[in-house]
């Protein structure tokens, strides 16, 4: 297949692109607008492959998307392009609305037109939409999200992703576009932009700076190693049932405090000069509307796709910390002029 991947220079997208080129015979067309969170460095390892092509295009630009489809004639789309940081969506929700909602709409429209043209020639096409568990809202102390869980998004980011999910489902039911939707738990691993929890804590720990934990650190997330997620996306594209949704989770629930303590333990081992890193952990003002707990039931993906995570949280975290230790130049390069490491996501906090 020739697979058009949107957001393929970002964290999850680049892991998927590298995996497709490195572990299959498929070709990739990487469509990315190269915002602050996307970098050519993330796909440098495969950029010279004859099966790789790059198009710097914003998914909101319908005319440019039409040109990409016409030039490359993909067999499938995997849609990952998104503004994905909750804190940034709190401080300024418009970019999330533009990319996640209107960008998805533009991509669906162009995909639908293209699919109809292919169908006339008897050629197949698939649209895989990649979403998040955050669309389901916040869990209590027990239970897990399934594919049938109700949508209750609580942040501007998750609300825009929920809207995108609904659009994709509507284009399938109304127009017949062959789609598959996936929802995943929190991803971590190499190449993650250093504004999310795990890379922030690693970067702060390496610099000997305070490692910030929101609130009391009691919020729970299910952690999924990015390579395991990428493998799941490939299986969903190739073997998922049209019109169905599949959940991917790591089976690794941790409080944010427990995550920080695990990072400190690995840093103490791999970077002993800064030990004990546990002394750097500090607490900061909580995020507005911070969801208490996420957990994923991935039984459907396991049963229908034969998928299961290969990395435990401990093995995946050690690989992740090791990668950031070996790639401090990458961190400096992607952060330069884009992010100073300061606190985001306080625009929604009421001040007296």
Residue 3 has phi, psi (to 5 degrees) of -115, 125
Which residues fall within 8 angstroms of residue 52, CB to CB, at 6 or more apart? Answer: 17, 21, 27, 28, 30, 43, 46
With 0-12 / 13-18 / 19 or more C-beta atoms within 10 angstroms meaning exposed / middle / buried, residue 286 is middle
Tell me if 161 sits within 8 A of 100, measured CB to CB. yes
Catalytic residue among 32, 134, 291, 311: 134
Name the phi and psi angles at 26, rounded to 5: -70, 160
Q: Mark whether 48 is an active-site residue.
A: no
Out of 32, 55, 58, 157, the active site residue is: 157
Which is the catalytic residue, given 55, 133, 227, 253? 133
Does 157 qualify as catalytic in the annotation?
Answer: yes
Q: Do the bridges between strand 220-225 and strand 253-255 make them parallel or antiparallel, or are there none, so unpaired? A: antiparallel
- The question of whether 188 is a catalytic residue gets the answer no
Rounded CA-CA distance 281/274 in Å is 13
Alpha helices in the chain (DSSP H): 11-23, 62-72, 86-91, 94-96, 104-120, 156-175, 197-207, 226-239, 256-270, 299-305, 313-326, 328-335
The DSSP-derived string for 54-70 is EE---TT-HHHHHHHHH
- Residues labelled catalytic: 133-134, 157
């Amino acid at each position: 297949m020739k697979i058009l991947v949107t957001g393929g220079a970002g964290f999850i997208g680049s892991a998927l692109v590298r995996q497709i080129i490195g572990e299959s015979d498929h070709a990739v067309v990487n469509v990315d607008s190269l915002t602050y969170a996307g970098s050519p460095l993330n796909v440098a390892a495969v950029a010279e492959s004859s099966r790789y092509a790059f198009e710097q295009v914003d998914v909101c630009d319908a005319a440019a998307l039409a040109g990409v489809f016409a030039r490359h004639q993909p067999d499938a789309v995997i849609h990952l392009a998104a503004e994905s940081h909750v804190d940034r969506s709190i401080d300024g929700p418009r970019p999330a609305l533009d990319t996640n909602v209107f960008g998805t709409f533009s991509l669906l429209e162009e995909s639908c037109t293209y699919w109809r043209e292919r169908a006339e020639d008897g050629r197949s096409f698939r649209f895989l939409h990649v979403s998040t568990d955050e669309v389901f809202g916040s869990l209590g102390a027990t239970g897990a999200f399934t594919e049938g869980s109700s949508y209750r998004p609580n942040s501007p980011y998750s609300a825009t992703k929920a809207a995108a999910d609904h659009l994709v489902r509507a284009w399938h039911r109304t127009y017949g576009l062959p789609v598959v939707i996936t929802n995943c738990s929190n991803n971590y691993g190499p190449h993650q932009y250093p504004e999310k929890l795990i890379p922030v804590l690693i970067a702060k720990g390496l610099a000997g700076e305070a490692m910030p934990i929101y609130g009391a650190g009691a919020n729970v997330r299910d952690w999924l190693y990015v390579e395991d997620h990428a493998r799941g996306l490939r299986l969903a594209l190739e073997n998922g049932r049209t019109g169905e949704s599949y959940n991917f989770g790591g089976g690794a629930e941790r409080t944010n405090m427990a995550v920080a303590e695990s990072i400190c333990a690995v840093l103490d081992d791999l970077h002993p000069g800064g030990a004990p890193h546990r002394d750097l952990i500090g607490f900061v003002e909580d995020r507005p509307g911070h969801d208490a707990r996420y957990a994923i039931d991935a039984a459907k993906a396991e049963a229908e796709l034969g998928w299961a995570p290969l990395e435990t949280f401990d093995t995946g975290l050690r690989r992740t910390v090791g990668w950031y230790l070996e790639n401090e130049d990458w961190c400096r390069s992607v952060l330069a002029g884009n992010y100073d490491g300061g606190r985001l996501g306080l625009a929604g906090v009421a001040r007296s």
